[in-house]
Chain A
Amino acid sequence: MTMQVSDISFAYGSRTVLDGVGFGLRPGELCALFGPNGTGKSTLYRCILGHLRHQGRVMLDGTDLTRLRPAQVARRVSYVPQQHSSPFPFTVRDMVLMGRTPHLGGVFGPRRSDIEHCERVLERVGLAGDGDRLYHTLSGGQRQLTLIARALAQDCNVLLLDEPTASLDFGNQMWVWRTVQDLARQGRTVLVCTHDPNHVRWFCDRVLALGRNGKLLAEGAPSTVITAELVGNLYPGVGAVTTAGHGAVVPADVAGVG
């Protein structure tokens, strides 16, 4: 599905968070929403999903998302929050089953076919056999994968992921990015917000760079957008950086240049 976001502006009181943000997303492409903490990446997600009222438009293959009810949006776009702790001891299977909610008709909850669907998506993210474990006792990486599995159970063609690797260790970060990459290759429209320039360069096909003024600074292939200049702009406290070598952003003094 092609998603066209146009002219989203949003302000908390007098503080402008988003200022005329617009972009398009294509199926099969892993797109990053890159920007430092506090630039309004999550706010942009909440606007796209219709949780916040805004003036812009979000078109999905000709349907205006802002005119749909939450249940209708949830059948088209799934949102993966940052991994968190649940106040109640749900099992992994329970958590994933909740993704079936937009497709349930009656009051009795999921059917057997829904449960089988969930077993398949658990397997796809590498959690086959963990269905009976308690979600809140998992590692951060496993929780994040559980939430990704839940979004897959939701069966939408558009996936929005919110900092999926922010609090994970290196191994889990790689595992989650690989999984997300696979999902995009299978034809889904995937937008991942992240504040790590290296992850963008390593894994993403395209990047939208969101600046501190709430405007999109640049858009395009990671190797052309994530430049030393842009990173220096967004993270002025870091000092000079270089993108020499393997497509990695490295502080200039660490890399031994400049």
Chain B
Amino acid sequence: MSQTDAVAPADSTGAAPAEASATPRAVVTGNRRRIILLAATTALAAIVAIVSIAVGAYVIPVPDVLAVLAAKTGLTDDADNLHTAVVWDLRLTRVLLAGAVGAALATSGTAYQGTFRNPLVEPFILGVSAGAAFGAGLAVMVDVPLSLQVMAFLFGMVAVWLTYTLSRVRGERPTVTLILAGIVVGSFFSAVFSLFQYAGTDEQLRRLVFWIMGGFYRATWDDVAIVVPATIVGCLLLFRYGWRLNILSLGDDEARSLGVDPEPLRRRIIVLATALTALAVSVSGIIAWVGLLVPHAARLLVGPDHRFLLPLSATMGAVFVMACDNLARTIHTGEVPIGIITSVIGAPYLIYLLRSRATRLGAAS
């Protein structure tokens, strides 16, 4: 029995066949298409912003809106327009804030999803929203020298710092323990927030509930002056990590073998994304769905390359929240909390995406 039953390649001891080389194929990168898309959504954001200023309790014609904006920014002489106060002090502040919050939530959502290699992650996963709610609740319940916004921001950051510290296991921070720690920290702060609601007076309870449902009704130029520049800086800093975030989304060992040290990179991205989220939450309350839904919608349009995905998330997030805020202040005579609008629109849209475009979202076909 010298011939065995193994199916071995006939030349397993011989030389390998030479590979025939074909002519190089023309490279189509698609980067131009992606840049056009970015420019288009930026233009769309500007258009939605102007339309948002026009609509409201009563409609201001778009030419009047433009006239006021031009006069106020010094492009034309101050033609005393009777809409100036409404356009400039009420609606523009609100629209700018809504756009900034939308951009911040969507960008940080995309960054979190990439860092945690999980498309179901949202920016509140590490407890920032629960921490911020606790901070805001504390400001409502007891006399603190800091404003509600500052308290919300600080405790949002504190919650994520706690999560990050608790998740350390034998010198490493596995994603699972990080997310579990986030759930633990989040539920602790949520429990205390519930206690506030239970113990508060009727007036305190009303403020707590309205804060947690989110809204831009109290937007002022003071808020805008802080939130808009900070959001722009934060987003630009995150955009810088676009390519390395692609590498990080492959997992730690692969990132390392491609020359990217995952731990410090992840820490920097989490700090930036958390600061952006806490900033947004501190001025607008908790607006659900934006940070989960917009990254998915953006990924469908440009694919998962974070160099393009992060900026597109920012512009689409701004458009989405501005549009939802328009509904929030126009579908009813009073004010509907925007968190309700984003959920009502967001949930069916995500279901539609999942059912029709599952492969592009990452499901194997």
| Cβ contact within 8 Å between A71 and B242 | no
* 9-residue interface stretch from A21-29, A115-123, A208-216: A115-123
Contacts A87-B249, A108-B307, A116-B24 given; does A99 touch B258 at CB 8 Å:
yes
| Cβ contact within 8 Å between A128 and B25 | yes
A8 CB, nearest partner CB in chain B, Å: 17
**Cα separation A115 to B28 with both chains bound (whole Å):** 9
Asked if B22 is an interface residue, CB under 8 A from chain A, the answer is: yes
CB closest chain-B residue, reference A254: B5
B69 CB, nearest partner CB in chain A, Å: 34
Task: Please tell me which one of the listed residues A112, A129, A132, A244 contacts residue B4 in the complex, with CB atoms under 8 A apart.
Answer: A244
Would you call the interface of chain B mostly helix, strand, loop, or mixed? loop
| Cβ contact within 8 Å between A203 and B12 | yes
| Cβ contact within 8 Å between B8 and A69 | no
| Cβ contact within 8 Å between A94 and B303 | yes
Task: Please tell me which one of the listed residues B3, B19, B247 contacts residue A124 in the complex, with CB atoms under 8 A apart.
Answer: B19
CB closest chain-A residue, reference B24: A119
Residues on A lying within 8 angstroms of B by beta carbon are: 46, 49-51, 69-75, 78-79, 81, 85-91, 94, 98-99, 101-102, 104, 107-110, 112, 115-116, 119-120, 123-124, 126, 128-129, 132, 134, 136-137, 154, 170, 174, 178, 181-182, 185, 198, 201-203, 242, 244-248, 250, 254-257
B interface, size bucket: 35 or more
**Cα separation A89 to B303 with both chains bound (whole Å):** 7
Asked if B266 is an interface residue, CB under 8 A from chain A, the answer is: no
| Residues in B neighbouring A136, C-beta threshold 8 A | 362, 364
| Cβ contact within 8 Å between B8 and A198 | yes
CB closest chain-A residue, reference B3: A245
Contacts A51-B253, A245-B4, A248-B4 given; does A69 touch B16 at CB 8 Å:
no
**When each residue 1-30 of chain B gets 1 if its CB lies under 8 Å from chain A and 0 otherwise, what string results?**
111111111001100110101101101110
B254 CB, nearest partner CB in chain A, Å: 6
Lowest 5 CB-CB distances: which A-B pairs, in order?
A: A74-B259, A248-B6, A88-B304, A245-B4, A102-B259
A58 CB, nearest partner CB in chain B, Å: 14
**Cα separation A154 to B257 with both chains bound (whole Å):** 10
CB closest chain-B residue, reference A13: B170
Can you name 25 A-B residue pairings with CB atoms under 8 Å?
A70-B260, A74-B257, A74-B258, A87-B117, A87-B362, A90-B305, A94-B305, A98-B247, A101-B259, A102-B258, A107-B242, A109-B307, A116-B24, A119-B25, A126-B19, A129-B25, A132-B28, A137-B359, A174-B9, A202-B12, A245-B2, A246-B12, A248-B4, A254-B5, A255-B5
